[in-house]
Amino acid sequence: MNLEQLQRTMLASVILPLTADEGMRERNAAGEPMEAVAGRFIRPNDRLTAFERLEIYNRQYWFRVQGAFQEDFPALRGVLGAERFEALANAYLQAHPSRSFTLRNLGSHLVDWLSANPAWAGRRIALALDVARVEWACVEAFDGAEFAPLTLAEIAGLDADSRLGLQPHLRLLALKYPADDLVLAMHQKQRQEASEAGTRGEETGQTPDERIRLRRRATWLAVHRVDFSLYYKRLTRPEYRTLLAIGAGRALPEALERGFDGARISPANQIQAVRAWFTHWAELGWLCRADAGSKEQ
């Protein structure tokens, strides 16, 4: 086989899902015996057959992507327990294998996939989805782009036709549970365990934490970055809706109208709220020019 054929055969073999006992499958997706496939491009040695040598790469690939996925979603693992989480991770990674040069993108389809396959989360599907949303938002916020923020003076000069942009690293979430508290606690636990033991996820017998008893409560959340550190900020529903409209390119009057639609807040209190919002947004650097992305290119 030529170089391209060799590379494609090797890739298909390495990403082949493992068996239940974490070994290489006897046949590939086309039904070919993997022993014969391995023999086409791998030589046996005095200790291992061609199949056994290929199996090392197959197993190490899966152990690496499973580990990276677990590192990105420790709170989801805490909610579901180790056994259910491992089954979910394997099913998800088979449906959405890594297609990028970076493992950062592994979880990019998780929320949509889990929404379409709720059985993998069992009775905790609603909480699992909220936790997955927050944890993926953390990944996006951590390395999202950042443009020059608007100053308070620039914000003060806005008029009725003004359109703003939001920092790309700012993620806005509407949740059924206050899942940010749970995610924060689990991520802190993950960092502590990594610091103390140098490894993560050693408690393979973990079961869902019986103390996780979050009550449903509508929660609006912003996940953002300041000086390369992640933060969560709870929002009111009008504030969340206003930011969402700004991010969608709505002019300020329309964005504010959408934000306060249905809210029982007097006009005077609305004005006070808007002043407080814009002051805080400016302090956090959330607002930028609507065309900031095109100017950076």
HEC-encoded secondary structure of the chain: CCHHHHHHHHHHHHCCCCCCCCCCCCECCCCCEHHHHHHHHCCCCCCCCHHHHHHHHHHHHHHHHHHHHHHHCHHHHHHHCHHHHHHHHHHHHHHCCCCCCCHHHHHHHHHHHHHHCHHHHHHHHHHHHHHHHHHHHHHHHHHCCCCCECCHHHHHCCCCCCCEEECCCCEEEEECCCHHHHHHHHHHHHHHHHHHHCCCCCCCCCCCCCCCCCCCCCEEEEEEEECCEEEEEEECHHHHHHHHHHHCCCCHHHHHHHHHCCCCCCHHHHHHHHHHHHHHHHHHCCEEECCHHHHHC
| 292 or 4, higher pLDDT | 4
For 122-161, write each residue's pLDDT tens digit: 999 999 999 999 999 999 999 999 999 998 889 888 888 8
pLDDT of the residue at 159: 85
253 has a pLDDT exceeding 80: yes
Whole-number percent of the chain with pLDDT over 70: 92
Q: What ranges do the domains of the chain cover?
A: 1-70, 73-143+179-213, 147-167+235-297
Contact between 69 and 89 (Cβ < 8 Å):
yes
pLDDT of the residue at 1: 85
212 has a pLDDT exceeding 80: no
Looking from the CA of 100 toward its CB, the CA atoms found within 13 Å total: 10
For 16-75, write each residue's pLDDT tens digit: 999 999 999 999 989 999 999 999 999 999 999 999 999 999 999 999 999 999 999 999
197 has a pLDDT exceeding 70: no
Confidence category of residue 296, pLDDT binned at 50, 70, 90: low
Question: Averaged over 214-219, what is the pLDDT?
Answer: 92
Confidence category of residue 210, pLDDT binned at 50, 70, 90: very low
